[in-house]
């Protein structure tokens, strides 16, 4: 049975790649033009393009999505959405699961991949974590996104959680951004993405329902960066463990 599942996982991976890349080729030209627009028009139009594309990918790859807590997004408000990060599937789930125009932070190396560079430039703020000047530019860019009334999506663990803990400790960036811009943090917990793309398997894809839970917003008013970071980490970790996320991730 294990051998059959391993073989099928590779077959599903081929199919998922065909669906993803094939559908991406359909949007690549309009996205190329959108990526050259000024903000906030660029993010708004990219959001309109990404949503149906990613919905198509999930439907035809066999992965069903469930969203909890969408009512936390209030009209005319922007947020700093922070998500846990376990695998590559987190990015399409989270960036297009957020129901309002948003940008996400991404590694600058991703923009060096042919075709994907258009995707990342259209929907992300790129940062070279090894460069102090790049980090400063990305922070300024994120402030501008929020000032435009758009939402930022950030993975405060900094990288995928490959350890045997429910959630890695958070970096300061998202919380400094929230404090400086006076925006609320919207804690968001992703479930089952590692069942779709397990950490210990290469080129493997298993169609499994995934979930994205938006928790109660956490105000940044009157809090230090460390206080906000610790409160958010504790809320997300406790929720993740209580809902069984730790068991599915390890």
Q: CATH code at 16?
A: 3.40.1130
Q: What is the pLDDT of residue 147?
A: 95
Q: How confident is the model at residue 131 (pLDDT cuts 50, 70, 90)?
A: confident
Digit-coded pLDDT (tens) for 7-55: 999 999 999 999 999 999 999 999 989 988 999 999 999 999 999 999 9
Q: List the beta bridge partners of residue 100.
A: none
Interval 75-87 mean pLDDT: 95
Q: How confident is the model at residue 247 (pLDDT cuts 50, 70, 90)?
A: low
Digit-coded pLDDT (tens) for 171-215: 999 999 999 999 999 999 999 999 999 988 989 999 999 999 999
Q: What is the count of structural domains for the chain?
A: 1
CB neighbour burial string for 82-120, b if at least 16 within 10 angstroms, e if fewer: bbbbbbebbbbbbbbbbebbbbbbbebeeeeeeeeebbb
Q: What is the pTM of this model?
A: 0.92
**Does the structure show a pLDDT above 90 at 248?**
no
Around Cβ 180, how many Cβ atoms within 10 Å?
14
Q: How confident is the model at residue 164 (pLDDT cuts 50, 70, 90)?
A: confident
Of the given ranges (59-73, 129-143, 212-226), which has the lowest mean pLDDT?
A: 129-143
What is the span of the domain harbouring residue 149? 2-249
In whole angstroms, what is the distance from residue 10 CA to residue 203 CA?
6
**Does the structure show a pLDDT above 60 at 249?**
no
Q: What is the pLDDT of residue 78?
A: 96
Q: What is the pLDDT of residue 140?
A: 93
In whole angstroms, what is the distance from residue 132 CA to residue 37 CA?
27
**Does the structure show a pLDDT above 70 at 153?**
yes
**Does the structure show a pLDDT above 60 at 93?**
yes
Q: What is the pLDDT of residue 110?
A: 73
Q: List the beta bridge partners of residue 104.
A: 124, 153
Percent of the chain past pLDDT 70, that is, above it, reads 97
**Mean model confidence pLDDT for the chain:** 92
| Residue 142: closest CA among 153, 130, 155 | 153
Q: What is the pLDDT of residue 123?
A: 79
**Does the structure show a pLDDT above 90 at 250?**
no
**Does the structure show a pLDDT above 90 at 160?**
no
Counting Cβ atoms within 10 Å, is residue 186 exposed (0-12), middle (13-18) or buried (19+)? buried
């Amino acid at each position: 049975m294990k051998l059959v599942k391993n073989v099928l996982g590779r077959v599903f991976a081929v199919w998922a790649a065909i669906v993803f890349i094939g559908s991406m080729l359909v949007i690549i030209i309009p996205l190329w033009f959108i990526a050259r627009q000024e903000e906030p028009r660029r993010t708004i139009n990219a959001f309109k393009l990404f949503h149906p594309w990613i919905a198509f990918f999930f439907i035809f790859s066999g992965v069903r999505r469930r969203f909890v807590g969408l009512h936390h997004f209030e009209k005319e408000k922007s947020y700093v959405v922070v998500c846990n990060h376990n695998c590559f599937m987190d990015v399409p789930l989270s960036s297009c699961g957020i129901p309002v125009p948003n940008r996400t932070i991404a590694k600058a190396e991703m923009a060096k991949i042919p075709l994907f560079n258009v995707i990342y430039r259209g929907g992300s703020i790129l940062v070279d974590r090894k460069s102090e000047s790049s980090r400063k530019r990305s922070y300024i860019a994120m402030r501008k996104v929020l000032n435009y009334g758009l939402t930022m999506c950030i993975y405060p663990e900094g990288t995928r959680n490959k350890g045997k803990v429910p959630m890695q400790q958070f970096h300061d960036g998202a919380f400094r951004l929230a404090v400086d811009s006076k925006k609320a943090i919207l804690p968001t917990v992703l479930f089952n993405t590692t069942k779709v793309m397990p950490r210990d398997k290469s080129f493997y894809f298993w169609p499994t329902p995934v979930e994205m839970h938006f928790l109660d917003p956490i105000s940044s008013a009157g809090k230090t960066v460390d206080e906000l970071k610790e409160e958010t980490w504790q809320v997300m970790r406790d929720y993740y463990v209580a809902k069984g996320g730790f068991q599915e991730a390890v």
